[in-house]
Amino acid sequence: MSHDITHDEASHGHDHDHKPKGFVKRWLMTTNHKDIGTLYLIFAFAMFILGGAMAMIIRLELFQPGLQFVEPDFFNQMTTMHALIMVFGAVMPAFVGLANWMIPLMIGAPDMALPRMNNWSFWILPFAFTLLASTLFMEGGAPAGGWTMYPPLVLQGGHNVAYLVFAVHLMGISSIMGAINVIATIMNMRAPNVGYLNMPLFVWTWLITAFLLIAVMPVLAGAVTMLLTDRYFDTSFFNAAGGGDPVLFQHIFWFFGHPEVYIMILPAFGVVSEIIPTFARKPLFGYVSMVYATAAIAFLSFIVWAHHMFSVGMPLGGELYFMYATMMIAVPTGVKIFNWVATMWRGSMTFETPMLFSLAFVILFTIGGFSGVMMALAPVDLQYHDTYFIVAHFHYVLVTGAVFGIIAGVYYWIPKWSGHMYNERLGKIHFWWSTISVNVLFFPQHFLGLAGMPRRIPDYSTQFAEFNMWSSIGGFAFGLAQVFFIYVVWKTVRGGEKATAQVWDGAKGLEWTVPSPAPHHTFEEFGPVDLDKMAHGKDH
Amino acid sequence: MSELSKDQYYVPHLAKWPIVGSIGLTTTVLGAINMLNSENPGTPWVMYLGFAIILFMMFGWFGDVIKESENNLYNTQVDTSFRMGMVWFIFSEVMFFAGFFGALFYARTFSVPWLGGEGTGLATNEVLYPGYEGVWPTNGPGDLNGHYDIIDPYHLPLVNTLLLLTSSITITIAHHALRANNRAQTIIWLIATVILGAIFLYYQAEEYIEAYQQLNLKLSSGIYGSTFFMLTGFHGMHVTLGTIMIAIITIRVIKGHFRPESHFGFEAVAWYWHFVDVVWLGLFIFVYIL
């Protein structure tokens, strides 16, 4: 049965095709992948604004040397909470939201494989972040030892330690369940004639991301459990007097943490791999090599963790091994960059907002990648370590990488979600405003770091004043640009030009065969889909 | 499985249990946090309330799933989703234990020898901890919690190893009996498995009591005590959970659930039990013997 017929039936409406009535039934008790995707995206956006507000406080304090606005301890709370909220509250849930919305539509599935658990994965998050954010208002304040939670510093926090540990546990439970759902959906719910090598690259990157999540979130849970028992039950995991070692925490944390950074970027690779072919009007160059490159990056991510710890005092053999292993990651990543560029080569390109963000992604993520290769060199990393150079590096890969990927995805798919085209002029304003300001924000931080300005410090030597002022101005502008983004999204959801099913003339994929907005239920009956509609349907 | 609606993947509607579960989880951790942070913890009623809510959620949620399954709403594809869910859940559990095993291996291979002066640890040893030899088992250069003895692996732990290995066999026999549609045999061998699991837990409790009261081996006995109790403790929690799960499966068999060709609930629990068994073998070798 072709999917078109399914949709006709859907629009005629069996009883259960109607959206549930009432707020509680529609949102609290939902099992619908589209509604849950929407919840994830809204939650991620709210956390993005909250974490962004904290970033504004950080940039405000750093606008000038000296202490102007906040206490040093509160400053440290802001850097810690900003990172935790952005990583676990904004970027990860945003990608899960995109996965929820798009994966079933892209593979011809009626829903996620385990719809009830899908609901639970989401509804743990608001509770987890309420627990975490509540520490801001209690005696002693929020965790201030950095998002990496290194002992012994983090254990010197007050009441917040237990809140931090259990909030991380809850986030982990949510992520693991979400990842299990994604894997089961992709492996078990593809339409009968959709093979693994017919899948869109976004689906592939998420399959690999989900595997990473299931492999490393439990390790993080173990690490924070050890923190908890060291603090409250007299264990000695990270206490040298008892035979333990604080460095042990760093090893366990980064065994989670390095795959984690790929968890935050691989789905963005997937998003731009959907967008660039659409607006270059050419099939993705080197589809299979993209799949292998993604898998290679994921594999390498497990064996390079200690490059975050070059300055901690490892044996020389360890430093050398982790240095060379890390540099190997540049190879599959280079394959990806090459393929995106080759996809655009001689394409008939147009530059709608999703494409602009994707292009910026390719260029700016590469800058972040280059500074990553610089820091992979153990001898020079001793100079860069814990300076603003690393701050610049990971904000290039996470803001102009992951966040730009998410924003590109939102512009690309919002017509499918809302049924309305966004306003192209406003989208372009948002793009240029964001892209210019984000570079003013983060590029000077490279220079600050190379000149020796340490991270996580509220005050600095006057020689750093000028670049910090630029960085703060860029920061405020970038923050405002995202407030403007809320307006653009809100305007699109409320109204605007009606979107067709196809939306983008160059787009291929099953998601463009269903009406816009996508009906509450799609692909309800399993059956073969039209492989011609898929980007990689026939070639592989 | 079902003759009805072969192509229709059953998508449940109006899930009321997840939000109950979230409230239960949050209540539990809030109870735990308050207990940890207060000077006089007293009875952790809030935590118990949280556990009760989670139990209520599990009864309700699993009850709904069982009802739907017994009403033939699930086709083989739904069954496959459940299987994948369980397999990947067990994989996540494996990784959780891997973190603790990693801590054990790191301490034994690196941190303890370094504190004893090996590698680059010479200065540390001579300046901070002169005389410390860095030999496993150890409660560290600070001799935390004083002298202790370790548990002889060839008494209770060996018995426990044999108990768990036997229980893996009994649950497999029960599985074969279920497939042969021999309900009486299935029930007998399941009950045998539950009993073996319960004896294991009883001995494990004995061992802990002995460790605390006679051997002075405690959670606070440096890195040895930390890794020993955390690894065996989390394993024991998993055995407890597994035993409860097998008991519930037994009740379900008695109630007439499961068919010879379709009994995912049974299989999931059996997989979990084998996983717990394998973890124990790792513990027996790396924690008790070596």
A293 domain residue, yes or no: yes
Task: Show which of B56, B74, B92 is a domain's final residue.
Answer: B74
d(CA A120, CA A117): 5
Are B237 and B144 within one domain?
A: yes
- Which pLDDT tens digit goes with each residue over A311-337? 998 999 999 999 999 999 999 999 999
Mean pLDDT of chain A: 94
Q: Do B157 and B211 share a domain, yes or no?
A: yes
Residue-range definition of the domain harbouring residue A125: 3-13+24-533
pLDDT digits (tens, 9 = 90+) for A149-201: 999 999 998 899 999 999 999 999 999 999 999 999 999 999 999 999 999 99
* pLDDT tens digits, one per residue of A48-70: 999 999 999 999 999 999 999 99
Residues B264 and B134 reside in one and the same domain:
yes
Instruction: Provide the pLDDT for residue A223.
Output: 98
pLDDT in tens, A466-516: 999 999 999 999 999 999 999 999 999 999 999 999 999 999 999 999 999
Whether B58 and B188 map to the same domain: the answer is no
Q: Tally C-beta pairs within 8 A across A and B.
A: 224
Same domain, B56 and B98: no
Whole-angstrom distance between the N-terminal and C-terminal Cα of chain B? 48
Residue A18 placed within a domain: no
Question: What is the CATH number for A89?
Answer: 1.20.210.10
Q: Which tens digit of pLDDT belongs to each residue from A253-306? A: 999 999 999 999 999 999 999 999 999 999 999 999 999 999 999 999 999 999
Query: How confident is the model at residue A5, as a pLDDT?
Result: 39
Residues of A in contact with B231 (CB under 8 A): none
Which two structure tokens, joined as six digits, stand for A137?
A: 């208002």
Is the domain of B144 the same as that of B252?
Answer: yes
Nearest CA in chain A to B22: A124
Task: Give this prediction's pTM.
Answer: 0.95
Please indicate, yes or no, whether residues B31 and B133 belong to a single structural domain of this protein: no
Catalytic residue status for A147: yes
Nearest CA in chain A to B225: A235
Asked whether residue A185 is domain-assigned, the answer is: yes
Q: Quick one: B86 and B27 in the same domain?
A: no
| Confidence at residue A18, expressed as pLDDT on a 0 to 100 scale | 64
pLDDT at residue B5, rounded to an integer: 52
- CATH code for position B90: 1.20.120.80
Kindly report the CATH number assigned to the domain that includes residue B45.
Answer: 1.10.287.70
Are B148 and B11 in the same domain?
Answer: no
Give the domain extent around B80. 75-289
Contacts of B96 in chain A (CB under 8 A): 218-219, 221-222
**What's the domain count of chain A?**
1
Name the domain boundary from B39, B74, B109. Answer: B74
pLDDT interval class at A526 (50, 70, 90): confident
Given B51, B74, B97, which residue is the final one in a domain?
B74
Portion of chain A with pLDDT greater than 90, in percent: 93
* Whether residue B68 is found in the same domain as residue B174: no
The model's pLDDT over A126-146, given as tens digits with 9 standing for 90+, comes to 999 999 999 999 999 999 999
Q: For chain B, list residues with pLDDT below 50.
A: 1-4
- Number of domains into which chain B is organized: 2
Do residue B58 and residue B89 come from a single domain?
A: no
Within-domain flag for A540: no
Q: Assess if residue A454 is contained within a domain.
A: yes
Q: Which of A120, A173, A190 is best to mutate for the B interface (most B CBs within 10 A)?
A: A120
3-state secondary structure of A498: strand
Q: What pLDDT score was predicted for residue B7? A: 66
pLDDT on residue A278: 98
User: Min CA distance, B43 vs chain A (Å)?
Assistant: 17
pLDDT for B198: 98
Same domain as B132, residue B115: yes
Least CA distance to A128: which residue of chain B?
B26
Q: For residue A535, is pLDDT > 60?
A: yes
The 3-state secondary structure of chain B reads CCCCCCCECCCCCCCCHHHHHHHHHHHHHHHHHHHHHCCCCCCCHHHHHHHHHHHHHHHHHHHHHHHHHHCCCCCHHHHHHHHHHHHHHHHHHHHHHHHHHHHHHHHHHHHHHHHCCCHHHHHHHHHHCCCCCCCCCCCCCCCCCCCCCCCCCCCHHHHHHHHHHHHHHHHHHHHHHHHCCCHHHHHHHHHHHHHHHHHHHHHHHHHHHHHHHCCCCCCCCHHHHHHHHHHHHHHHHHHHHHHHHHHHHHHHHHCCCCECCECHHHHHHHHHHHHHHHHHHHHHHHHHHC
What pLDDT score does B43 carry? 85
pLDDT digits (tens, 9 = 90+) for A383-394: 999 999 999 999
User: Quick count: other Cβ atoms within 10 Å of Cβ B155?
Assistant: 12
Q: Which of A175, A343, A371, A471 is catalytic?
A: A175
